[in-house]
Amino acid sequence: MATILTLAGDGIGPEIMTQAVDVLNAVNNKFELGLTLESGLIGGVAFDATGEPLPEETLERARAADAVLLGAVGGPKWDAIERSKRPERGLLKIRSELGLFANLRVAKLYPQLVNASSIKPEIISGLDLLIVRELTGGIYFGEPRGIRTLENGEQQGYNTMVYSTSEIQRIGKVAFELAKTRAQAAGRPAKVCSIDKANVLEVTELWKQTMIEIQQADYNDVALSHMYADNACMQLIKDPKQFDVMVTGNMFGDILSDEAAMLTGSIGMLPSASLDEAGKGMYEPCHGSAPDIAGQDKANPLATILSVAMMLRYTFKKEEAAQAIEQAVSDVLDDGLRTIDILDRSETGLKQVGCQEMGQAVLAKL
């Protein structure tokens, strides 16, 4: 008997979670997975209810659960509250407390959606790249940090970007292993591109050096290359298919994974996994809480539904159930169903649907 904690969160979180939970219940029955679902509070709604963006109770239940499914957190409503209580802090804290250091974000182009992108089709058709982002270190968590008043009376803000060898090794290994798995499945040589700014930042110099050491010690069968973050940001636009697995720190990973997602034109489609050392994980869509469209039944639930598939694959090793979900998603796209974010108005034969209709359509395919 395994337990999944669902945390819907803020903004469009509840709507997309409702659809994902329906799908999860359906595969749970169909494939007799024996999963139990619980729900809890995180983010702004948790702050409203308890005064904390990550209540102790949620954290304890997350620790006890076998996996966590998250919607999204944050919104203008909580912008003005004390920094330590903001919704995003709840997200950062659960990542850190659960030790979810490995964030896997896939930027994959659905052939049905090739026209939804602002990139030319020939540049992105067939795109399928994986960004491995370190998620519990770097400048996101480095100390000292804060805002202080200087002697001359003005204020100064400061944060610390910091990585130790073992943190880099741990995430590097995840990237190399995934590159090997992907290469095997695709029948081609494995490669990893490590992103740094080693020409300016010492912390990323250590990053680069450590990646080289891991590769030389244990991964001679994986080709390792290096790229500066600014150049990587350009190369993702110019020729994204040159990459297979990219590995980088928390901050560069935040930026580059969003960029990679946007290349596909369908960030509403992309799931992510955040894993600890034992493979236990939190799963969530790559997109945010989109407060501007919350409660309007406009959100795309597919990234959350696909996050369920990722969960079944990585944490529960239920490949068949995972594939069933992915196939159902592909089928509704084939049927021409589109939420507004992936609707190409120049294409005929498409039907614009809301969040609920999209979710129920996936359900019907299962």
Q: What residues between 244 and 273 interact with a second copy by CB under 8 A?
A: 251-252, 254-259, 261-263, 265, 267
With CB cut-offs between 5 and 8 Å by kind, which of ligand IPM, a second copy, none does residue 261 bind? a second copy
With CB cut-offs between 5 and 8 Å by kind, which of ligand IPM, a second copy, none does residue 366 bind? none
Among residues 49 and 200, whose Cβ is nearest to ligand IPM? 200
Contact flag: residue 278 with a second copy (CB under 8 A):
no
Q: How far is the CB of 168 from a second copy (least distance, A)?
A: 9
SS3 of residue 197 by DSSP: coil
Token pair 């803020």 is found at 10
Q: Give the C-alpha separation, 156 to 54, whole Å.
A: 28
Contacts of 309 (CB under 8 A, 6+ apart): 271, 321, 322, 323, 325, 326, 329
Q: What residues between 185 and 244 interact with ligand IPM by CB under 6 A?
A: 199-200, 230
Check: CB of residue 244 under 8 Å from CB of residue 191: yes
Per the document, the length of the chain is 366
The end-to-end CA distance of the chain, in Å, is 23
Token pair 């089928």 is found at 331
DSSP 315: T
Cβ-based burial of 166 (10 A; exposed 0-12, middle 13-18, buried ≥19): exposed
Token pair 């968590």 is found at 141
Token pair 């350009």 is found at 234
Residue from 221, 230, 320, 347 in contact with a second copy (CB under 8 A):
230
Tell me if 75 is assigned to a ligand binding site.
Answer: yes
Contact flag: residue 79 with ligand IPM (CB under 6 A):
no
Q: How far is the CB of 251 from ligand IPM (least distance, A)?
A: 8
The catalytically annotated residue of 208, 254, 314, 365 is 254
**Cα-trace Rg, the chain:** 20
Contact flag: residue 47 with a second copy (CB under 8 A):
no
The catalytically annotated residue of 140, 219, 228, 283 is 140
Q: How far is the CB of 242 from a second copy (least distance, A)?
A: 12
Tell me if 317 is assigned to a ligand binding site.
Answer: no
Residue from 27, 68, 161, 342 in contact with a second copy (CB under 8 A):
161
Q: Which residues are annotated as a binding site?
A: 75-88, 95, 105, 133, 230, 254, 258, 288-300
